[in-house]
Structure 1
Amino acid sequence: MNLVSTDFKFFIEYDANPFVLFNAKGKIVYLNSSAEMLMGSCASEKLFDVTLSYAPKSFGYKKTLIDLSFGYFEFYAINVLYENEDEIAIHLYNKPMPKINNKVNLEGYSQTDINLLFEANIELFKMNYSGKLEL
């Protein structure tokens, strides 16, 4: 075991992945800043149920690959940890955001006035439609 005298609470607090620590009754003891945002989309009881469902059978931790979502928040894995009967924690791992290509290659395409296309389609529609048409 590596003995480091660093207070890891700072690193957990500002981690991009939500971390929630519950007491044995399911009440939140601690949550990091990412988990604060998550709690706006998820009831603490629901998250506690997920935590208990994926907890290891004995003290320690259990990482699980899982497709999990709460509102707009999507996760690909969780880590449930506990070392005593009084507290249990869950660390949720955010799904990576898809890369969006902002540069669109328009080579080979010509610039078109969309209003001209609409007018042409309206005229074609009028030719095949005998009813009254109003805009």
Structure 2
Amino acid sequence: MNDDVKAVLQDCTSASNEERVTFPEVVAALAAVGVERYHTDLVRGETTYYLPGGESERVPGKPATRHPAAAFSAAGVADAVRAIQAGTIRYREFCERVMQAGCVGWMTFLAGKRVVYYGRTGDSHVEWFPGAR
């Protein structure tokens, strides 16, 4: 993975944490450098980005300030997704709300146009990118 791609990954992570970008902007930037998917670990506060050829890069972010709820609530995750899509909350509050709903992380699949949110016991909820269905 070249340094230009790594710089984009670093910027996407920091810009998200600093609430300077939206999810569609992140997806566009990542797709432009060939990212296939990425995994966000809320507890560790890091994101791992994957390219189609198997290369990956882990980028530290902001670790969680709270423990995710023990029980997973797909409805709680969906509510947080709707709120950030509507612009009524920003990224950090989104992370807090999905953790309150028991989410510990998610996998974002750019080509598959979906995000799979998951909890401590493997319960999960799939959200399609807007307009993907």
TM-score after normalising by structure 2: 0.25
Q: Between Structure 1 and Structure 2, which shows a larger proportion of helix residues? A: 2
Instruction: Give TM-score scaled by structure 1 length.
Output: 0.25
Greater C-alpha Rg: 1
Using CA pairs under 8 Å that are at least 6 residues apart, name the structure with larger relative contact order, 1 or 2: 2
